[in-house]
Amino acid sequence: MKLGIQRMKRVSATATVALTAGAVIAGGAFASTAQAAAPPVPTIVAKGGFVMNNGTGKTLFTKAADTRRSTGSTTKIMTARVVLAQKGLNLDSKVTVQKAYSDYIVAKGGSSARLIVGDKVTVRQLLYGLMLPSGCDAAYALADKFGSGSTRAARVKSFIGKMNSTAKTLGLKNTHFDSFDGISNGSNYSTPRDLTKLASSAMKYSAFRAVVKTKSTKQKVTTKSGGYRYMSWTNTNKLLGTYSGAIGVKTGSGPTARYCLVFAATRNGKTVIGTVLTSTSEATRTADAKKLMDYGFKK
């Protein structure tokens, strides 16, 4: 009888070991399956790209993320960031549109907010004109308003200086500005990583977030004669309304910059933010950004 009980215990122990081993093997199989299910790293057309989790700062994707490149109008993120950081800023203070601003965009062939000489526009409206239609005239007006000096040239130089000192403060080691709008004089550059960090910093300002998520706007401005007119601006960022959760940020283009896009989206409480530089067309920069955000949300 005792012999029979001992045999039964041995059989039971053997079965337990077999079950445990099976569980370990099965667990390993499940782990392998989970690893295999990790999202494939996307391929993008752009020469440079970077994506991070905006909440944690964790890097999610890099492609030549620290290579300096021309940035086009994504430069205007810094223009807005400098304005919004001014002490005692009154977004409703008015700026009179000068002939120099319109002459500048004609001379440079720059993108325009179609500001009309003599109109009085608010700083807030200039930010919309800066970020939606990418108005170089609006950028000039803001640089002239918020730079220091007795001449327009001195004020513009001062404002660009503020852009560069802000870049330094933010730790953007591969970034330099020589213009207020991205129409470069040869040394206006940044990287996908730096631009993403800059955009993340700018998005901390509620006024910035409100502007860059706007698809289109109609703004009432005061004319030279004291009447009023409406200015209509449409955002050049095609992600708004076409990508679920898109909340900004800024397009850019130029002969050297080609096609650039700084982008951000929020889904289920998670915000991903990133940049693509030197893509080949408007369509490819948008497609690149969508791929990177899809990937970022799965990571």
Catalytic residues: 73, 76, 134
How would DSSP label each residue in 213-227? T-SEEEEEEE-TTS-
The span from the CA of 130 to the CA of 153, in Å, is 20
Give the closest residue to 289 by CA, choosing from 247, 234, 226, 233: 247
Residue in the structure block whose two tokens are 């369509």 = 283
Q: Which DSSP category does 190 fall into?
A: B
AA letter at 201: S
What are the tokens at 73? 């109008």
Residue in the structure block whose two tokens are 């057309």 = 45
What are the tokens at 199? 């955009």
The CB-side HSE value for 85 (13 A sphere, CA atoms) comes to 20
- Which segments of 49-122 does DSSP mark as H helices, in order? 76-84, 99-108
The span from the CA of 261 to the CA of 242, in Å, is 15
Integer Rg of the chain from CA: 26
